[in-house]
Amino acid sequence: MTGPAAVDEDGNTAGTSPAHEGGGAAETVVDRLFFTFSGLSCIWFAVVLLQSSLEWGHIWFLVVFWAALAYLVLPRLHRILTRIYLPDYFIGRSRTSDGLLGDPVNVAVLGTGGQIHAVMEKAKWTLADPVTAVSSRRIITSTLARRSYDEAPVSPLFLFGRQQDFAYQQEVDGNPGKRHHIRFWKAPAGWLLPGGISVNWLAAGTYDRAVGLSLFTLQVTHKIAAGIDAERDYVVESIRSAAPEARVRTIKDFSTGYHSRNGGGDSITTDGDLPIVDLTGIPAPESVPAVLQNPRATRPLPTLFGAVLVACRGFAALFLTFALAAAVTDGSLTGPLLGTTPTPDVSAALAPAAVVMGLFALTEFLLAWFISRGGNRARVTAMTFGALSIIAQFIATLSGGPAITMATTLVSFSLDILLILALSSERARIFARSRTGSLRGPLNPDPLPSSAA
C-alpha cells in the first residue's frame, strides 16, 4: 500500500485491523487450545478413515476420506498455518474461513447500509440470503438442477476479523452457478484506509463463472473469473446508472497491480485501483431488510451443527438410560445392547448407572439448547466433553485396545471430532462470544433504521 500511515483516536495505525476492531470477539488461550487440538485430532481421524478405506470391503470409504480431507483436515491445517505466516492487518485482501487469502477489496463506499440497499435494489441487485442449513441445501439443489435462485447465499469471507455483513448478487441466465456478486463489510469506527482516507464500507466484487473443486482444499465451490477489475467496474457502473447523483473518485494504484490466486485457487489479476463510491447524497429508505439491521443475529452453520451433534449425544445417552432402566425393572440384561443376566453386584449398580446416564442426557440437551442460543460456556463445556472422549480413545489405542473401526467406536469418535471442529471454528467462537454482550455494540456500531423508524 502507498501513502503515509495515519493513527486514529485509539492509537491504531490506519490500515491495521486487529481482531477487536471489527467486532471479532477476542480469542482466548482456551479457544486456541481447542482449535489446535481439533486440528491434530482431525489428522488422526483422516488416517483412521484412510486405513479403513484400504480394506477391500470398505472401498467406499475413499469418498468419506475425501470429504474428511476436503472439509475437515485441509481447512483446519490451512487455518493453523495461515495464523503463523499471514499478517493480521489490512492488506487489501479478505480471508476465507480457512484463513487463506480470499477476494481482493476492490470497492469502498461512503454512506449508510440503508443507502447501499436503496441503490443496489434500484440497480437490480438482489440481497443474498444468509448461509443457513436451508439456504445451503437450496443452493446445492439449484446448482445441480440448474434452477434459478436469485437470493442464493455467498460463502463467508472475513475482513476486520469477521465475515461480510451482507452481500448482493445478480444471477446470470437463471443459472446459480454463474452470477455477479459483491460482499460488504462495515469499517470499524475511526478506521482509516492507508493514506488516512476515511470510508464507511469496504467491498469485494467478483464474478462466479462456474462450479468446481478448490485447488487448496478440494472442496466443491464457485470458481471466479480472473479479471476482477471488470467486475469492479461493472458494480460501479451499475450504481452510477441507477443513481446518477452518486459520486465516484478512484484512488489510482491503491495497491500494486498483481496476479495472484484467491482462497479457492482461482487466478485473479487487478490493476490495484480502488474506486470510492459516495452515496451520502442518496435518500435512505425508511425500512431495510432484517439482515441489514442486525447481520450478526443469524446463527452460523457451525454453531447449529455443533448443537445438533450435542443433542444426538444426549439422545444416545437417553437410549442407554431407558435400556438400563428396563434391565432394573425385569432383572435381566437381555438384548443386543446389554447382554446376559446380571450378577447381584451388577444388578445393584444398574439403578445408579441409569440415574447417571439420565442426568448426562439432560446435561447434553441443556448444552445443545444453550449452544444454539450462543452460550459460550456451553460451547466450551461441550468441547471439553468431546476432547476428553478423544483423549480416552487415544490412550486406549496406544495401550493396545481395539482398533477404531465401524464395528467398534468409529461413529462416536467421528462425532466427537466433528463437534470440536464445528464449535472451535471462528464463526462459532465469534457468535458465542458476541452473544454475551449487546449485538448492537462493536459488531454493529452503526445500527440501521428499523421499519418502525
Q: Which cell numbers hold the place of 87?
A: 499478517
For residues 212 and 223, is the Cβ–Cβ distance under 8 A? yes
- Grid cell 468409529 is found at 410
Question: What is the reported pLDDT for 291?
Answer: 65
pLDDT tens-place string over residues 180-232: 999 999 999 999 998 899 999 999 999 998 888 888 888 888 899 999 999 99
Task: Compute the CA torsion angle 388, 68, 216, 206 (nearest 10 deg).
Answer: -100
pTM above 0.85, yes or no: no
Cβ contacts of residue 365 below 8 Å, gap of 6+?
A: 311, 314
Q: Which residues of 161-184 are buried (b: 16+ CB within 10 A; e: fewer)?
A: bbbbbbbbbbbeeebbbbbbbbbb
Assign 223 to helix, strand or coil.
Answer: strand
Of 17, 182, 183, which is closest to residue 90 (Cα–Cα)? 17
Name, in order, each residue with C-beta under 8 angstroms of 59's C-beta and a sequence gap of 6 or more: 53
pLDDT < 50 stretches in the chain: 1-23, 334-338, 437-453
pLDDT given at position 331: 57
Task: Output the pLDDT for position 203.
Answer: 97
Sole residue written with cell 470429504: 67
Question: Could you tell me which residues are beta bridge partners of residue 211?
Answer: 222
Are 304 and 421 within 8 A, CB to CB?
A: no
Q: Using one digit for the tens of pLDDT, what is the confidence trace for 47-78?
A: 887 777 676 566 666 777 788 788 888 888 88
Dist. CA 179–CA 151, nearest whole Å: 11
Can you read off the three cell numbers belonging to residue 305? 451443527
Q: At what angle do helices 426-434 and 301-330 cross, to 10 degrees?
A: 90
SS3 177: strand
- pLDDT at res. 11: 34
HEC string for 320-387: HHHHHHHHHHHCCCCCCCCCCCCCHHHHHHHHHHHHHHHHHHHHHHHHHHHHHCCCHHHHHHHHHHHH
DSSP structure class, residue 296: G
pLDDT at 341: 52
Q: Tell me, rounded to whole angstroms, the distance of Cα 37 from its chain centroid.
A: 19
- For the stretch 397-405, contacts whose Cβ atoms lie closer than 8 Å and that sit 24 or more positions apart, written own/partner, are 404/48, 405/52
Residues 6+ away with beta carbon under 8 Å from 176:
139, 142, 143, 146, 147, 148, 149, 152
Residue 290 and residue 248 in contact, taking contact as beta carbons nearer than 8 Å? no
End-to-end CA distance of the chain: 40
Torsion of CA 43, 305, 79, 434, to 10 degrees: -140
Quick one: 400 exposed, middle or buried, by C-beta within 10 A (0-12, 13-18, 19+)?
A: exposed
